[in-house]
Amino acid sequence: MDSNRKAAKTRERLLQAAIDVFSTEGVVGATTRQIARVANVNEVTLFRHFQSKEQLLAAATQHITAMQVESLDHLDEWTQDLSRDLLHYARLHNAMLEENEALIRMFIGEAKRHPDEALQVLQQAFLPLREKLTNYLRNGVERGNVRPDVDLFLAVDQLTGMLLAGMLRRHVMPVERGYRPDHYVESCVDLIVRGIGTASANPERLSPHPSSHPNS
């Protein structure tokens, strides 16, 4: 009964194509024809796998969250140096944002029209990351790296918010922005460390830009 496997394979191709087309064209703009074409599959086959375009969207949403859960595990080695660890996290987070730019844009724009799907993706994709970082910071409080009076959830939302907005800006604005893109991420981490870290986590308060590169 390995005809299951073939069906599952085209189903997978359809889901990936749906994610691509939905991301770039939006939910209304995406057509079943184009999705089928991208999946290298006849349009009728699409409707044999998914009864309707709406249900294809639901299945694609679930497929996304399943993938995101897998790719979460790259984040386990903490050096207990607040600046280093936050920078590591921020770079991973930023890379994830950059990779999924079209998808994120689409869900932000469509959040009010498809609240269930948007909420599901955001909750499954971002909340675990937030939880993990919050736990790390809570640990930092006990180690004396992080001031005990800060709202950790809020601080994490601030960091990820800056990264998200930075990604959105980067891809719309022309160059013209003064600072370099990778400097932005570093500077956001720096800002957070200044804001929530204790003196022991801010060793280089003397030099202007702690983690910046020596270039013109």
Partner DNA sequence: TCAAAATGTAAGTAAGCACTTGCATTATAA
Partner DNA sequence: TTATAATGCAAGTGCTTACTTACATTTTGA
List residues near its own copies by CB under 8 A. Answer: 24-26, 28-29, 102, 105-106, 108-113, 115, 118-119, 122-123, 147, 149, 151, 153-154, 157-158, 160-162, 164-166, 168-169, 171-174, 177-179, 183-184, 187-188, 190-192, 194-195, 208-209
> Rounded CA gap, 20 and 30, in Å?
10
φ/ψ region of 144 (left if φ > 0, alpha if ψ in -120 to 50, else beta) reads: left
CB of 8 to DNA, least distance (A): 8
Of 4 and 79, nearer to DNA (C-beta) is: 4
194 binds, among DNA, its own copies, none (CB under 5 to 8 A by kind): its own copies
CB neighbours of residue 18 within 10 Å: 27
Min dist. Cβ of residue 125 to DNA (A): 25
Distance of alpha carbon 188 from alpha carbon 184, whole angstroms: 6
CB of 28 to DNA, least distance (A): 8
Question: Could you tell me how far CA 191 lies from the centroid of its own chain?
Answer: 20
Find all residues with CB under 8 Å of 110, minimum gap 6, and list them. 26, 27, 117, 118
Report, in Å, the least distance between residue 101 CB and its own copies. 9
Residue type, 5: R
C-alpha distances (whole Å) from 41 to each of 12, 17, 62 are 11, 10, 21
**Would you count residue 16 as binding DNA (CB under 7 A)?**
no
Task: Kindly tell me which residue out of 26, 37, 53, 75 binds DNA, with binding defined by CB under 7 A.
Answer: 53
Q: Which residues bind DNA (CB under 7 A)?
A: 1-7, 9-10, 30-33, 40-45, 47-49, 51-54
